[in-house]
A = this chain, B = another copy of it.
Amino acid sequence: MIATENLPRQAGTTLTLEEIARLADVSRSTVSRVINDDPNVRPATRERIWQIIKAHDYYPNPAARALAERRSRVIGLVIPQALNAIFADPYFPSLIQSCAAACDERGYYLMLSLVLRQSDDTFRWLIRARHMDGLIVASALTEDVFVTRLLDERFPFVLIGRRSERPDIPTIDADNEHGAYLAAQHLVQLGYTRIATITGPLNMVAALDRRDGFLCGLQAMGIETPAAYIQEGDWSEWSARQGMERLLQATPRPEAVFVASDNMALGALKAIQAAGLRTPEDIAVVGFDDIPAAATTDPPLTTVHQPIEQLGHLAAATLIDLLEMAPASADGAHAQHIVLPTELIVRMSCGQALRPSATQRAAARNLSDEGGVKYRSLISAALTG
């Protein structure tokens, strides 16, 4: 033991618990306890064992662990959309990043599950094989067989986005409806009356919520919206560009437009520019998301901020809570529904900013830096689509 204890670890070699135990002159169990932070280990022993573990760069075999513990500590992030779409919208990098970070904090690993083919095989791999302990499902459609099957199989998951007809599914969502409402209010207060919108794909809940919140806001302020003023996009820049081109041909031409995502707003701005018009002089634009690019468009984009990072963080944390809960209490029926606030960020794309919203915004940011804990218990009533 004395001789081997200080040997540098060998490249390509993998030690076992057993060997660490031998080096430390204790039993497997004790080493296992140290690794799993079991309090029942004398501090001195614990310390000594840690030294040895570090010296040898020992890492417990994940397969063996998973087999014995009956869980893999891997959770999946499923984005049931075309890969192109995922990559096209800067919303997703933030989401992925934050989910991954949250998993990390809790000793889990995030696995991106490309649902390439909606085929049965993928599903079996994902669910039946129990390769992962749980799933975060992002951007679900209003009708999603995937979600249905997860429920059938009693597979643990949380949904990013809401699903009011299934109160037994835990969901994390931004307050899309209210955010869109704020956008409507803003435009009306600036004096616009001919107001249009480019929506997301209307088979997605978030797109519906944003549309409805917006129209509801207009209505509340006494503004009518003709059908020609509502164009459907698919979150892609290109689709919004085309939508905007159609809007520009409507008569009378709208004075302002709410675009349901910043990424799409980028396309809308281009269409406006390509038509030889200016923003906001000829047509005002308000977006949704507050992606980084929104601050640097020309003109800087007024938009609705949604806390993407928190969304991801909370989704992961909620799922892990669920997984680590006693199986009895994990049984649905009273799942959490978290709704995170959205807020209007006034920049330049809607005409003169009427309020000193910069300070407002800074204050809000400070609060949200607390990391989502404050929202943990924010159980929402189901919003009406």
A contact residues vs B (CB 8 Å cutoff)? 11-12, 14, 57, 59-64, 66-67, 72, 83-84, 86-88, 90, 92-93, 96-97, 100-101, 109-112, 114, 116, 124-125, 128-131, 152-155
Cβ-defined partner of A59 (8 Å) among B60, B90, B100, B128: B128
* CB contact between A67 and one of B64, B90, B111, B130 (< 8 Å): that residue: B64
**Cα-based distance from A112 to B96 in the complex (angstroms):** 11
User: Do B101 and A12 have beta carbons less than 8 Å apart?
Assistant: no
| A63→B132 CA distance, assembly (Å) | 10
CB A127 to nearest CB in B, in angstroms, measures 9
Q: How far is the CA of A112 from the CA of B62 in the complex (A)?
A: 18
Query: CA A72 – CA B66 in complex, angstroms?
Result: 12
Are B63 and A128 in contact, CB atoms less than 8 angstroms apart?
A: no
Given contacts A12-B154, A63-B72, contact A109 B125 (CB under 8 A): yes
Cβ contact within 8 Å between B87 and A129: no
User: 13 new A-B pairs (CB below 8 Å) besides A11-B154, A60-B129?
Assistant: A11-B153, A12-B153, A57-B128, A59-B124, A59-B125, A59-B128, A61-B130, A62-B129, A62-B131, A83-B96, A96-B114, A97-B116, A109-B131
- Of all chain B residues, the one with the shortest Cβ separation from A293 is B238
A72–B61 CA distance with the chains assembled, in angstroms: 11
The complex places the Cα of A129 from the Cα of B59 at a distance, in Å, of 5
Nearest chain B residue, comparing its CB with the CB of A14: B130
**Which B residues touch A63, using CB under 8 A?**
63-64, 66-67, 72
Determine how close the nearest CB of chain B comes to the CB of A227; give it in whole angstroms: 29
> In angstroms, how far is the closest chain B Cβ from the Cβ of A2?
25
CA distance A96 to B83 in the complex (A): 9
Q: Using A67-B64, A125-B109 as known contacts, say yes or no to A93 and B97 having CB atoms under 8 A apart.
A: no
Across-interface contacts of A12 in B (CB, < 8 A): 153-155
**Which of B87, B96, B125, B130 is close to A90, meaning CB atoms less than 8 Å apart?**
B87
A131 to B114 Cα, complex, angstroms: 19
Contacts of A14 in B (CB 8 A): 128, 130
Query: What residues on B are CB-neighbors of A83 within 8 Å?
Result: 93, 96-97
Q: A83-B96, A100-B114, A152-B11 are in contact. Are A124 and B61 (CB under 8 A)?
A: no
Q: Which residues of chain B are near A86, meaning CB under 8 Å?
A: 93
Minimal Cβ-Cβ distance residue in B for A110: B114
Give chain B nearest CB distance to A152 CB in angstroms.
Answer: 6
CA distance A129 to B61 in the complex (A): 6
Chain B min CB distance to A317 (Å):
17
CB distance from A136 to the nearest CB of B (A): 15
How many angstroms between the C-alpha atoms of A14 and B127 in the bound complex?
A: 11
Q: Are B57 and A61 in contact (CB under 8 A)?
A: no
Contact A87 B93 (CB under 8 A): yes
| Cα distance A92–B62 in the bound complex, in angstroms | 29
- Residues of chain B within 8 A of A59, CB atoms compared: 124-125, 128-130
* Shortest distance between the CB of A364 and any CB in chain B (Å): 24
Alpha-carbon separation in the docked complex, A116 to B11 (Å): 24
25 intermolecular pairs with C-beta atoms under 8 Å apart = A11-B152, A11-B154, A12-B153, A12-B154, A12-B155, A57-B128, A59-B124, A59-B129, A61-B67, A62-B129, A62-B130, A63-B64, A63-B67, A66-B66, A67-B67, A83-B93, A84-B93, A87-B92, A88-B90, A97-B114, A97-B116, A100-B116, A101-B116, A109-B125, A111-B112
> How far is B86's CA from A67's CA once the two chains are assembled, in angstroms?
34
Question: Which residues of the partner chain B approach A66 to less than 8 Å between Cβ atoms?
Answer: 62-63, 66
Closest 3 CB pairs of A and B: A63-B66, A12-B154, A63-B67
